[in-house]
Amino acid sequence: MLTMILVSIASCLFLAFTEHFEKKLKISAFVCLLTVNVAHIILFFLAGFSDPGIMKRNENSFGCHDTFIKVVHKGIFKKTRLCETCNIAKPFRSAHCSECDNCVLRFDHHCPWLGNCVAKRNYKYFYFYLILVNIHCLLLLVFLYIIYLKSFVMEKKLIKH
């Protein structure tokens, strides 16, 4: 949440203190930054508050203390890992998140900025959120560079006169 607020504040301050912009350029900068900012806020909430793929706990115990158990999948015996906390046979690439205390399908990591795991069901939202935050920062840099060039040209004009 703090990351989202800081990026939004940077855009607001940028637009508030840019007197070197022409009106058309300032409006286009405002529209670009606002669009990207709103989109990355929406993706932040989608990634942070959607279910990452949490697997339901099994109330019954397997009655064994092995880390691997044999399961039948499509008529074939396979070895799979057992989560002793959740009492479930974990599918491939699932893991137990120590922060959430849940087993999560296709677990990637627990994101402290989102306060949620990034996994199977919210990975695309997280990925596009990161892309949009980077685009947002690049837009700020581009507009700052334009301001720098305009102020440099204005200084050269003042020096010549």
Is residue 111 annotated as part of the catalytic site, yes or no?
A: yes
Exposure string for 98-137, b = 16+ CB within 10 A, e = fewer: eeeebbbbbbbebbeebebbbbbbbbebbebbeebbeebe
Exactly one of 12, 32, 103, 111 is catalytic; which is it?
111
**For 94, which DSSP code?**
-
Calpha distance 161→158 (Å, rounded): 5
**For 119, which DSSP code?**
-
User: 87 near 56, Cβ under 8 Å?
Assistant: no
Active-site residues: which are they?
111
